[in-house]
Amino acid sequence: MQASERREAQRHLVYFADPMCSWCWGFEPVITGLIEHFGNRLPIELVIGGLRPGNTEPMSDTMKRDIREHWELVERRTGQPFDYAFFERDGFVYDTEPADRAAVIMKLVNPRLALPYLKTVQRAFYAEGRDVTNKHVLADLAGEHGIDRSAFLDIFNSREARKATLTDFETAQASGVAGFPTVYAGDLVNGYARVTTGYRPLDGLPEILEAWLAAE
């Protein structure tokens, strides 16, 4: 088998997520657990799905109430921390596109940092109350991973970054992803099967995936 064929046949996970999806924040310890368990034996490819890209309407009181209820549910089920002072803001526009684009940029700049950066953005938004719709905040967060802030902003403002972000959105849609988080397992030769749509705990998941790998 040629090297290119081996790469195509390498089994891996595809993780469809959005940095401003609360259930994805709840799912973050599961992703971390899978990374710790499998290491390089089961790579995880991140695809940014686009939760509310391009939204221009400030959050209404009704929207604040609905989102707060989601956060409270995620916190109860997963134990992940949330900063509820977020809901005291006036005029916040819940546009996920800037954070989506930043996550896609990190995939382009250094794929190994894609998931760590996603976690950093999630924590900044949900647990620290930082405005991750602001490109300068996103650049600061990239700097925490050793990425030059000015270079990051140059890429962020480029047509190429916008196009790559749209490509991720289209990949999620073409894959039939209707919600986040969603995880598929498979390879480019034999295709993919869905592991989960929506949150599920880590318990039992490594064993299921170990059995799948062993059946190769």
For 133-184, the pLDDT digits (tens) are 999 999 999 999 999 999 999 999 999 999 999 999 999 999 999 899 999 9
**Going from the N-terminus, what domains does the chain have, and what CATH number goes with each?**
3-214 (3.40.30.10)
pLDDT value at position 9? 72
Share of the chain above pLDDT 70, in %: 96
Query: Mean pLDDT for the chain?
Result: 95
Identify residue 178 by its one-letter amino acid code: A
What's the pLDDT score for residue 186?
97
pLDDT in tens, 14-45: 999 999 999 999 999 999 999 999 999 999 99
Position 2 scores a pLDDT of 44
Torsion of CA 166, 167, 172, 175, to 10 degrees: 140
**Overall pTM surpassing 0.85 (yes/no):** yes
Q: Which residues contact 106 (CB under 8 A, 6 or more apart)?
A: 113, 114, 117, 118, 142, 145, 147
